[in-house]
Amino acid sequence: MPQPPLLIPKPEGLYCPDGDFYIDPMRPVPRALVTHGHADHARAGHGAVLATRQTLEIMAIRYGEGFAGQRQAAEGPLRLGNVDVSFHPAGHVLGSAQIAVTAGAQRVVVSGDYARVPTPTCAPFEPVPCDIFVTEATFALPVFHHPPPEAEIARLLASVAAYPDRAHLVGAYALGKAQRVIAALRQGGWQAPIHIHGALQRLCDYHIAQGIDLGDLRPATETRGKKADFAGAIVIAPPSAFASTWAQRFPDPVICFASGWMQVRARARQRGVELPLVISDHVDWPQLTATIAEVNPAEVWITHGREDALMRWCEMQGRAARPLHLVGYEEEAE
């Protein structure tokens, strides 16, 4: 007799009937397991949340201490109802985890968002053998070959050197990407202060408190400074800040944006970006396909993104695959 499925897609998200919980649900549910702190995965208002300690602390920073009725930090293997649950690093952002759900001989791994490029800002992805590997497909097209981050940082530093009178404003999302960019700048030899938008302050402070060295960070929101003070400076801000009057305080700014989408020129031009930086915290096509080959599951489930292309690749490889068409995960916020 075939085993009943361990996880089933529902409008709220992936549901585990044997454990009575959801993973990364888009709507409030009685019990949620959360892979990482990005807003489309970690929502406020659940009855109980199980996640890594760092993810819980990040949720508290973003939503306030009362973000859920109860919270539990995942430490070591756990038993929920009739299933075993364990959390494994995903390499995506600080605290990010893949969630393995095991019942009898069957194991499903929900990878959430994951990355394979090492960064000092979080633990590296750990491949977990499984029967079903649940993956996103954000960059699942063979056009996505993200260059090494050090090459992109070198382009940024070359532009800073070429335009010493201008400020470089680098758009980067507040959780993960901003710190990944800052850490890469430090590794690339930029030891000068980096200015950060106020919206990044608390999450940067949290990274530092977790022992991640981000160097000399200064607030960029002070209005007392003169425009010329920011000449030659690197300023990190959430991309939304560029549309506001905030950007006007900088001298003739060069708008940069750190995202895997920047590989497609039209995307960069849509956003009015002058210096696109292809720096991603997701897997590109070679990394995605290599990860599936490495994990080697009997079946691949695809949550969202370019599922048609990944389905096609799986078909060519003779791998069973299934699209889940989960609605609610935002791929813009990469």
Partner 1 sequence: MSLSAFATLLERLAFTPQRGRKEQLLIAAFASQPDPDRGLMLAALTGDLRLRQVTPGLLRGLAETRVDAQLFAASYDFVGDLAETIALIWPVSGSDSPSLSEVVAELAETPKTRLPGVIAARLDGLGPSERYAYLKLATGALRVGVSARLARSSFAAWAGLPLAEVEEIWHALAPPYAELFAWGTGGPRPEAASRVPFRPVMLSTATDLEALSALDPADYAAEWKWDGIRVQAVSDGGLKRLYSRTGEDISGAFPDVIALMDFEGALDGELLVRRGAQIGSFAELQQRLNRKTVSAALLRSHPAGLRLYDALIWQGRDLRALSYDARRAVLAELPLGPQIDLSPQLPFASWEDLAALRANPPEAVIEGVMIKRRDSAYLAGRVKGPWFKWKRDPFLIDAVLMYAQRGHGKRSGYYSDFTFGVWHGEDLVPVGKAYFGFTDAELKELDRFVRTHTIERFGPMRSVARSKVVEVAFEGLNRSSRHKSGVAMRFPRINRIRDDKPASEADHLETLQAMLPSDG
List the single partner that 209 binds among partner 1, Zn ion, none, CB under 5 to 8 Å by kind. none
24 interacts with Zn ion by CB under 5 A: no
290 interacts with partner 1 by CB under 8 A: no
| Count of positions on this chain that bind Zn ion (CB under 5 A) | 3
For the CA atoms of 42, 43, 44, 46, what is the dihedral angle to 10 degrees?
Answer: -90
Which one of residues 306, 314, 321, 334 is an interface residue with partner 1 (CB under 8 A)? 306
Segment contacting partner 1 by CB under 8 A, of 90-98, 185-193, 197-205, 271-279: 271-279
270 interacts with partner 1 by CB under 8 A: yes
Q: How far apart are CA 270 and CA 286, in angstroms?
A: 26
List the single partner that 113 binds among Zn ion, partner 1, none, CB under 5 to 8 Å by kind. Zn ion
List the single partner that 263 binds among Zn ion, partner 1, none, CB under 5 to 8 Å by kind. partner 1
Considering only residues 183 through 212, tell me which ones interact with partner 1, judged by CB under 8 A. none
Considering only residues 315 through 334, tell me which ones interact with partner 1, judged by CB under 8 A. 316, 327
312 interacts with partner 1 by CB under 8 A: yes
List the single partner that 272 binds among partner 1, Zn ion, none, CB under 5 to 8 Å by kind. partner 1
Q: If DSSP states are collapsed to H, E and C, what string results for the chain?
A: CCCCCCCEEECCEEEECCCCEEECCCCCCCEEECCCCCCCCCCCCEEEEEECHHHHHHHHHHHCCCCEEEEEECCCCEEECCEEEEEEECCCCCCCEEEEEEECCEEEEECCCCCCCCCCCCCCCCCCCCCEEEEEECCCCCCCCCCCHHHHHHHHHHHHHHCCCCCEEEECCCCCHHHHHHHHHHHCCCCCCEEECHHHHHHHHHHHHCCCCCCCEEECCCCCCCHHHHCCCEEEECHHHHHCHHHHHCCCCEEEEECHHHHCHHHHHHCCCCEEECCCCCCCHHHHHHHHHHHCCCEEEEEEECHHHHHHHHHHCCCEEEECCCCCCCCCCC
**Counting every residue, how long is the chain?**
334
Q: State the binding string over 138-177 for partner 1 (x if CB under 8 A, else -).
A: ---xxxxx--------------------------------
Which one of residues 240, 265, 293, 296 is an interface residue with partner 1 (CB under 8 A)? 265
Which one of residues 24, 57, 113, 307 is an interface residue with Zn ion (CB under 5 A)? 113
Which one of residues 12, 40, 131, 274 is an interface residue with partner 1 (CB under 8 A)? 274
Q: How far apart are CA 163 and CA 170, in angstroms?
A: 15
Q: Which residues contact 54 (CB under 8 A, 6 or more apart)?
A: 37, 94, 95, 210
Closest to Zn ion by CB, 107 vs 282, is 282
Query: Least distance in Å: CB of 8 to partner 1?
Result: 21
C-beta separation of 93 from 38 below 8 A: yes
List the single partner that 38 binds among partner 1, Zn ion, none, CB under 5 to 8 Å by kind. Zn ion
Query: Least distance in Å: CB of 116 to partner 1?
Result: 19
Q: How far apart are CA 95 and CA 237, in angstroms?
A: 21
Which one of residues 14, 32, 33, 38 is an interface residue with Zn ion (CB under 5 A)? 38
Closest to Zn ion by CB, 147 vs 328, is 328
70 interacts with partner 1 by CB under 8 A: no
308 interacts with partner 1 by CB under 8 A: yes
Closest to partner 1 by CB, 108 vs 275, is 275
57 interacts with Zn ion by CB under 5 A: no
Query: Least distance in Å: CB of 31 to partner 1?
Result: 26
Residues that bind partner 1 (CB under 8 A): 141-145, 261, 263-270, 272-276, 306, 308-309, 312-313, 316, 327
